[in-house]
């Protein structure tokens, strides 16, 4: 790891930005330039588009990009999940094929893990992949897939050996979404949006060279993805003002970079961006003349404290990574904390707005952000692993409590009764 400091990073990056940032570039041109510089993923190895920087200096990089008015690297599941997993488990050929399009935003990703009968018990998944020469034929169904309508590739878990125990017969594929055997059906939420989809796989195909980590090693690889997901969701996700769903179908690449930077600077709040709930709600309380309400102030103070706990937990996660440890129990507690913040914001938002909280739309006070956050609030306790799963993990892996009774881990999958499978 290079011997660098905050001052040296500011000096070097600041100089590079003065020479390189041009708001008249397209987003695609800027992201390509940012990727070549290593500043898009500064903690990645220099051999793979990074600069080998300690994770503790990422905040300095983000701050410098914002200070220059430049957009950061692409956000989304490619940067948050696929990239780190491919770095950890991929061959050099796979890293060469997949990492650069993630960093340049050319390819967007989705996560094909959960199924109608395999959510909390993910290892019970029934989507199957059967080898056919140099390819695998995939059949099954996935659900709650974020960004599936515009993703170019998917992180796919499929069962390749039903005779093995359920955790051992799974493989992890880097799966192309643009093919005839893939049908994506958006799921409309009560917010009016369709962030999630169900995905049907019918004789879909994926190359044998797209197996990540080896055949039958999918559970091990998936745990890397799940650890990154819990840490990312619990500590604010990834990216620094980039596009939430990049890729050729995301509609971002040909936009003017300066226009995207301006929209990011206005601080629009997405439904899941509960990290900004304190700022949004406290400003609304002042605007509506309720800033002096002692009960409301106490609830806002609680929200502020929870966000500070989340920020400090994020620092603990970063410190663990700097020390060479992967995401530990901090990631699980961070995920639980995010759910708690979402519930508090859900209750507090309508209290701040009063009767207007029953109305929807951009013409309402606050632009409808609070109402949308209120409707979206149940989601954080479910996606990325339910709150109950996080508590089980903490109980078993941190507190040493016994696991819940269940089938022997050596039992072949095809002898288990899971989902629609009759069992032995």
Q: Which residues are catalytic?
A: 229
**In 10 A of CB 172, how many CB atoms?**
28
How far is the C-alpha of 309 from the C-alpha of 344, rounded, in Å?
14
Strands 109-112 and 153-159: parallel
State which H helix or E strand residue 232 sits in.
Answer: helix 218-234
Q: Residues 6 or more apart from 214 whose CB is under 8 A from it?
A: 171
DSSP assignment letter at 403: P
Query: Closest Cα partner for 327 from 240, 409, 385?
Result: 385
Q: Which residues of 320-357 are buried (b: 16+ CB within 10 A; e: fewer)?
A: bbeeeeebbebbbbbbbbbbbbbebbbebbebbbeeeb
Cα 308 vs. chain centroid, distance in angstroms? Answer: 21
Strands 135-146 and 196-207: antiparallel
List phi, psi (to 5°) of 359: -100, 155
Query: Closest Cα partner for 199 from 219, 176, 215, 222?
Result: 176
How far is the C-alpha of 395 from the C-alpha of 285, rounded, in Å?
39
Burial of residue 293 (CB within 10 Å: 0-12, 13-18, 19+) is middle
Residue 376, CB-side half-sphere exposure with 13 Å CA sphere: 25
Answer whether 196's CB lies under 8 Å from 271's CB: no
Which residues, listed in sequence order, are joined to residue 159 by a DSSP beta bridge?
Answer: 128, 170
Q: What are the DSSP calls for 252-304, one per residue?
A: -TTSBHHHHHHHHHTTPPPTT-GGGHHHHHHHHHHHTT-TT-HHHHHHHHHHH
Cα 235 vs. chain centroid, distance in angstroms? Answer: 10
């Amino acid at each position: 790891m290079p011997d660098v400091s905050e001052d040296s990073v500011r000096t070097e990056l600041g100089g590079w930005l003065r020479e390189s940032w041009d708001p008249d570039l397209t987003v695609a041109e800027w992201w390509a330039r940012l990727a070549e510089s290593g500043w898009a993923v500064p903690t990645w190895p220099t051999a793979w588009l990074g600069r080998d920087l300690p994770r503790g200096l990422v905040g300095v990089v983000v701050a410098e990009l914002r200070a220059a008015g430049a957009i950061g690297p692409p956000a989304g599941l490619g940067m948050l999940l696929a990239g780190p997993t491919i770095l950890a488990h991929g061959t050099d050929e796979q890293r060469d094929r997949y990492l650069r399009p993630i960093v340049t935003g050319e390819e967007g990703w989705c996560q094909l893990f959960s199924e109608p009968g395999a959510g909390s018990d993910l290892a019970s998944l029934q989507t199957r992949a059967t080898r056919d020469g140099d390819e695998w034929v995939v059949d099954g169904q996935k659900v709650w897939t974020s960004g599936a309508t515009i993703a170019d590739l998917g992180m796919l878990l499929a069962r390749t050996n039903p005779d093995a125990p359920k955790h051992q017969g799974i493989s992890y594929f880097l799966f192309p979404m643009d093919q005839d055997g893939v049908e994506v059906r958006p799921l409309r939420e009560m917010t009016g949006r369709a962030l999630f989809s169900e995905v049907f796989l019918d004789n879909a195909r994926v190359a044998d060279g797209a197996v990540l980590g080896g055949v039958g090693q999918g559970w091990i690889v998936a745990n890397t993805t799940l650890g990154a997901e819990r840490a990312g969701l619990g500590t604010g996700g990834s990216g620094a003002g980039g596009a939430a769903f990049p890729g050729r179908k995301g509609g971002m690449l040909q936009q003017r970079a300066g226009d995207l930077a301006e929209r990011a600077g206005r601080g629009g709040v997405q439904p899941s961006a509960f990290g900004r709930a304190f700022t949004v709600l406290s400003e609304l309380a002042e605007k509506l003349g309720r800033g002096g309400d002692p009960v409301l102030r106490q609830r806002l103070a609680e929200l502020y404290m929870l966000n500070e706990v989340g920020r400090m937990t994020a620092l603990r996660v970063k410190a663990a990574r700097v020390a060479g440890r992967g995401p530990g129990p901090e990631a699980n507690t961070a995920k639980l904390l995010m759910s708690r913040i979402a519930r508090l914001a859900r209750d507090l938002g309508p209290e701040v707005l009063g009767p207007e909280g029953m109305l929807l739309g951009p013409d309402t006070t606050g632009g409808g952000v609070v109402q949308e956050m209120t409707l979206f609030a149940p989601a954080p306790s479910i996606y990325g692993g339910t709150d109950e799963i996080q508590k089980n993990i903490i109980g078993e892996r941190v507190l040493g409590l016994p696991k819940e009774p269940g089938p022997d881990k050596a039992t072949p999958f095809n002898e288990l009764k899971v989902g629609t499978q009759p069992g032995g």
